[in-house]
Amino acid sequence: MIPVLPLLLLVLCVSSPIIAHGKTSSLKSSAVCSGHRVSTPVCSRAWLPLNHRRGPCSPFPSSSETIPSTADVLHRDRLRADTIRKGLNGTAGANKRGGGVTVPTALGSSLDSLEYVVTVGLGTPAVTQTVHIDTGSDVTWVQCRPCPAAACHPQKDKLFNPAMSATYSAIPCGSAACNGLGGPGQYGNGCSKRRRECQYIVKYGDGSNTTGTYSSDKLTLTPAFAVDHFKFGCSHAEQLFTDKSDGLMGLGGGAQSLVTQTATKAFSYCLPPAASYSGFLRLGAARAAASRFAVTPMYRSENVDTYYLVLLQGIAVAGRRLRVPAAAFTAGAVMDSGTVVTRLPATAYRLLRAAFRKEMRMYPRVAPPSDSILDTCYNVTGDVKVIPSVSLVFERGATVELDRPSGIMLDGCLAFAPNDDDESVGIIGNVQQRTLEVLYDVAGGAVGFRPGAC
């Protein structure tokens, strides 16, 4: 028997003024940062601007580095999606618990597919650190001194120097926090021989990893919200990102994540429609009110507690519900900020593609990029009305119409891809989440969607 969805609390919030810089009529990325497009509530514990790692709103300085092609991004995206599926397949679907599966030795993060960053302060006095957000990771980490150039990537800010922080401490071996990292194949990496300091390692789906000292210090999210004794990885060796980011903030459901460490009952974010707009990350967000959010139950795996899962039950194109057999969706889907395009059960994808192509039959298809996982592409620009509406229908009837075109198309292609079968877990990628406030009501066991939030 499916449990009754908990009653979600309505919290009255004061809204901030609309912040709009420049024109907002076009969703196409421009060379100028246009700022926030709509107002957002400010009643949360912390509200942080969120930006795409590349583009005019990026906090990173422009450089001569080569921007990867869409095909390159999707190749790394495939690595991430494959690792998520391998970790969860066999644990049973989103509507079940348990199952005899081993916790994966690598997380689902292909780090160079992560796209969104926030800026926080670390240490006392606080040192600015710009980090990627990732709901598919638990351990937060930044690059720390000493970190030889051959072992670390160049970054925007100065390397965090533990010796300069009055509140820094290395976590000792044998402590509960160190033991909580687990043994080989998890996050634990033994102890330093000289100081007996706890060592961590995080392995990612693209084969990269970060290693260093598991540490504690003050994390400042906003002037009014700081976290004392926040546990994070002080990375002394990695070679991961191709941008200037300082590290990663883990927003997963595991014990080491920011969400768990701060006992955050709910958090949310809004990913902007293009790199020329800003979104936001809210921690301690007001739990979803049914009048403002489309709400569906959240599920968790007892074996891999990082991921947040939902149950997709239908898809509509141009207002017409596709005849996807209910059995095709039973494996559930991971809500993921780091996967780019949504992965659907094979049957659901074939029906979506056929319906979308039918609606676009007046426009000739063009060849997709070579080696791309996308297969339905058009040379269509400008008029949003050309693109048919696509809605995702989740359990309990939560219907979410995707933003047009930013939540449906990626570089002119339908931004969905199929799993190999109907038994593998699906993934709701970040393209489909654009402009939605996606709320993770961890305490209430629900995921909410509010359209037009950024």
* pLDDT, tens only, 163-213: 999 999 999 999 999 999 987 778 999 998 888 999 999 887 667 788 999
Q: What is the mean pLDDT of residues 4-19?
A: 37
Task: Tokens for 117, please give them.
Answer: 């960053």
Q: What percent of the chain has pLDDT over 90?
A: 57
pLDDT band at 134 (very low <50, low <70, confident <90, very high): very high
Question: Quick check: 376 pLDDT over 80?
Answer: yes
Helix, strand, or coil (residue 321) = strand
Spell out the residues 6+ positions from residue 226 whose beta carbon is closer than 8 angstroms to its own: 121, 218, 219, 220
Strands 342-344 and 416-418 come out as parallel
- The mean pLDDT of the chain is 83
Range from 89-98, 157-166, 409-418 carrying the lowest mean pLDDT: 89-98
Question: Quick check: 95 pLDDT over 50?
Answer: no
Which residue of the set 336, 403, 422, 441 is catalytic? 336
Helix, strand, or coil (residue 232) = strand
pLDDT at 329: 96
Strands 209-222 and 46-52 come out as unpaired
Q: What predicted TM-score, i.e. pTM, was given to this entire model? A: 0.88
- 134 in active site: yes
Which residue of the set 112, 134, 206, 403 is catalytic? 134
For residues 105 and 109, which has the higher predicted lDDT (pLDDT)?
109
- 422 in active site: no
pLDDT at 24: 33
Q: What is the mean pLDDT of residues 414-433?
A: 96
pLDDT at 428: 98
For residues 238 and 427, which has the higher predicted lDDT (pLDDT)?
427
HSE-up of 370 (CA within 13 Å, CB side)?
A: 0
Phi, psi of 258 (to 5 degrees): -60, -40
